[in-house]
Chains A and B, each alone.
Chain A
Amino acid sequence: MKKAVKTIVFGMLFSGVCFASFANGAGEEFPVAPPPMTEGLFPCSNCHATMEVNRTKRVLKEEHTDIKLHHAETMRWCLDCHDAKNRDKLRLYNGDLINFTESYRLCGECHGPQYNDWKAGIHGKRTGYFMGPGKRTYHLCAHCHDPHQPKFKPIKPEPPPTKPKDS
């Protein structure tokens, strides 16, 4: 009897974990392009492995001064997404650590509808082959949206068509 109960409880826990990870899309694989990292910065642990962790919310003065955080900055700051101890990884709400190649899971925690659309291919961009054996590449969220300043900046348009003669 005890063994049966144990199996059932364990089974439920196990399936719960499975379903939980399903909810997070951890089981799915998306053929993403490499994340758009700034040249020379990755792996972050090159510097951060030996540095002290300062959890005070502040504007950085010595390094990463080119990053202006404009993404719910009143509610969060760097270490809410970047794991404090392992800077080579990103941090989900429940504390799970994920690679930069899976950053969509982190974005998807707040931006649910866009995440669902992105998984179906409606949001964001895909290139390559959508059918057959050819390779298809998904673009990560970070490829289009700068995670620190996600709002699109205006760009210069291509030239208009030439007006029809003498018009």
Chain B
Amino acid sequence: MKKWQQTLNETWHFYKRTLTLVARGNNLYYAWCFFLLAIIAVGFLFYMRQHDLGLIATRMTDQVSWGLYIANFTYLVGAAAAAVLLVIPSYVYHFKPIKEIVVLGELFAASSIVMAILFVMVDLGRLDRFWHMLPGIGWMNFPQSLLAWDVLALNGYLFLNLLIPIYLLVKFYYRKEPNWKFILPFILISIPMAVAIHTVTAFLYNGLPARPFWNASILAPRFLASAFCSGPAIIIIIFQIIRKVSVRQIEIEDNALFKIAELIAYAMFLNLFLLSAEIFKEYYSQTVHIASFRYLFEGLHRHKELVPWIWSAMTMNVIAFFIFLIPQTRKRLTTLNLGCLLVIIGVWIEKGPGFVIPGFVPDPLGEIYEYFPNLLELMVSFGIWATGLLIFTFLMKVAIPIEAGEFSHVSYIESSFRRQEEDQAWRTGSFTKI
């Protein structure tokens, strides 16, 4: 009992100290935080309008009933699953360059999941009835409804990706050895969990016979392949930013980035291969179900809205694939970053609007409605992305000093001891100028 109390006290003390870390920074940090807060405020105001009017304030209709919010949700769940590509090399293969940054990757996964959950919450028509979905309190349709599985899987993964890094960080803060017997099972479980969250998200589309565009067995593998492209690409870019921006030099070796890039090459190959398999099946068999593919790649009955988007996404993906494949371009930072940007945007288009919208076009009765998000949806989406980035910034602001060894309990004891001496000097009046 006393040990639990002590652990709780330590964690609480740790939390209070991290607040000071988060509140202080250089001007760039403040500017970044206020920029993000401004976007969040605007997004929130737009969301209030949607909350008042109802979802009629968006451009979703009965024909295309899921839009930008669910597109972003799908992409972000994939990005979160990508943390597994850091966990496996570091904890299973003990690849040292990645082992140093795996905690940061897990915190990235946690921020991604928070964003995904926020996107689902703004998409719900009746957010006040959210409690109906909580198991035990509401009436969750488990195991029949894939959305119920998704809620459990996402929250479980969020819990894991907060527990593991925070546990390790707190232990490192106190310069105590982590109890591997306690934490390693959680780490190992997070590997299949990462695959599980994205498989469940794929299954929730996959299990609908009403939508032949989604009702393909290849969906879950495609989702995983594209997730393992986009997530690590974001991680590579973010880590370079951290390396540059963090005042304390955190050791992120180039080798770690190159190794991740190599994994992206394999994932992108798989992604392109699976896509070609789908295209062959549809275009060779030429059944009625080709309609959604036609709409996406060629245009259907003079409706061509998504065609330029998907072709730019395809071009970006292929170019990026070659960038990551060829070692010379992969191991040079400028081309690597170009490749990462291409992958991030290309996969977002392919997995977001290029996946969710064609599932609804044509609708089950053959109608075509061209969906395009309006200003409100864009602003709310930006607000949520900004929220995720802000959370990630705060997490990094805490994690990096701890990882670099500069923020620890020892230094706190030392500094507080010094403070006590100063206070003593003030009180007794023997304060001398330093």
- A–B interface present (Cβ within 8 A): yes
Q: Could you tell me which A residues sit within 8 Å of B by CB distance?
A: 164-167
Of the candidate stretches B59-67, B207-215, B309-317, B422-430, the one touching chain A is B59-67
Q: Which residue of A lies closest to B59 (CB)?
A: A165
Interface residue B370 (Cβ < 8 Å from any Cβ of A): yes
Residues of B within 8 A of A166 (CB): 59
Residues of B within 8 A of A167 (CB): 369-370
List B285-328 residues whose CB lies under 8 Å from chain A: none
Chain A positions within 8 Å of B369 at CB level = 164, 167
A-B contact pairs, 9 of them (CB 8 A): A164-B61, A164-B62, A164-B63, A164-B369, A165-B59, A165-B61, A166-B59, A167-B369, A167-B370
Closest to B368 in A: A167
Beyond A165-B59, A166-B59, 7 additional contacts (C-beta under 8 Å) are A164-B61, A164-B62, A164-B63, A164-B369, A165-B61, A167-B369, A167-B370
Question: 7 tightest CB-CB pairs across the interface, nearest first?
Answer: A164-B61, A164-B369, A167-B369, A164-B63, A165-B59, A167-B370, A165-B61
| Cα A100 to Cα B353 with chains together (Å) | 65
**Shortest beta-carbon distance from B45 to chain A in Å:** 22
Q: How many A-B residue pairs have CB under 8 A?
A: 9
Min CB distance A167 to B, Å, is: 5
| B367-416 with Cβ < 8 A to chain A | 369-370
Question: Which residues 146-187 in B have Cβ within 8 Å of A in the complex?
Answer: none
Task: Give CA–CA (A166, B62) in the complex, Å.
Answer: 14
User: Shortest beta-carbon distance, A54 to chain B, in Å?
Assistant: 58
A85 and B372 alpha carbons, distance in the complex (Å): 74
Provide the residues of chain A in CB contact with B61, threshold 8 Å. Answer: 164-165
Residue of A nearest to B56 (CB): A165
Provide the B58-92 mask, 1 if CB < 8 A to any CB of A, else 0.
01011100000000000000000000000000000
Q: Which residues of A contact B62 (CB under 8 A)?
A: 164
Complex Cα distance A164/B67, Å? 15
Q: How far is the CA of A136 from the CA of B30 in the complex (A)?
A: 77
Which B residues are CB-close (under 8 A) to A164? 61-63, 369
Give chain B nearest CB distance to A88 CB in angstroms.
Answer: 52
- A163's nearest neighbour on chain B, judged by CB, is B369
Q: Which partner residue on chain A sits nearest B372 by CB separation? A: A166
Interface mask (B23-41 → A, CB under 8 Å = 1, otherwise 0)? 0000000000000000000
C-alpha spacing A167/B61, complex, angstroms: 11
Chain B nearest CB, measured from A18 CB (Å): 53
Q: How far is the CB of B65 from chain A (nearest CB, A)?
A: 11
Q: Which residues of A contact B370 (CB under 8 A)?
A: 167
Instruction: Write out the residue numbers on chain B whose beta carbons fall within 8 Å of the beta carbon of A165.
Output: 59, 61
Rounded to whole angstroms, the CA-CA distance of A167 and B372 in the bound complex is: 11
Residues of A with C-beta under 8 A to B63:
164
B59 partner residues in chain A, CB cutoff 8 A: 165-166
Within the complex, the shortest CB–CB distance from B177 to chain A, in Å, comes to: 61
User: Whole-angstrom distance between the alpha carbons of A164 and B303 in the complex?
Assistant: 15
In whole angstroms, how far apart are the Cα atoms of A166 and B61 in the complex? Answer: 11
A138 to nearest B CB, angstroms?
34
Nearest chain A CB to B374 CB, angstrom units? 9
| Chain B, 4-54, CB within 8 A of any chain A CB | none
CB distance from A164 to the nearest CB of B (A): 4
**How far does the alpha carbon of A167 sit from the alpha carbon of B63 in the complex, in Å?**
11
Per the bound structure, the CA–CA distance linking A166 and B369 in Å amounts to 9
Distance between Cα atoms of A166 and B370 in the complex (Å): 9
CB distance from A29 to the nearest CB of B (A): 43
CB neighbors of A among B94-142 (8 A): none
Chain A min CB distance to B319 (Å): 34
In the bound complex, CA of A11 to CA of B370 (Å):
77
Measured CB to CB, the closest approach of chain A to B376, in angstroms, equals 13
Q: What's the nearest-Cβ distance from chain B to residue A160, in Å?
A: 12
**In the complex the two chains form, what is the Cα distance from A164 to B59 in whole Å?**
9
Interchain CA distance A167-B370 in the complex, whole Å: 7
Give Cα A82 to B367, complex, Å: 52
A161 to chain B, nearest CB (A): 10
Name the distance in Å between B378's Cβ and chain A's nearest Cβ.
Answer: 16
> Which chain B residue has the least Cβ–Cβ distance from A165?
B59
Q: Closest A-chain residue to B62, C-beta based?
A: A164
CA distance A57 to B370 in the complex (A): 64
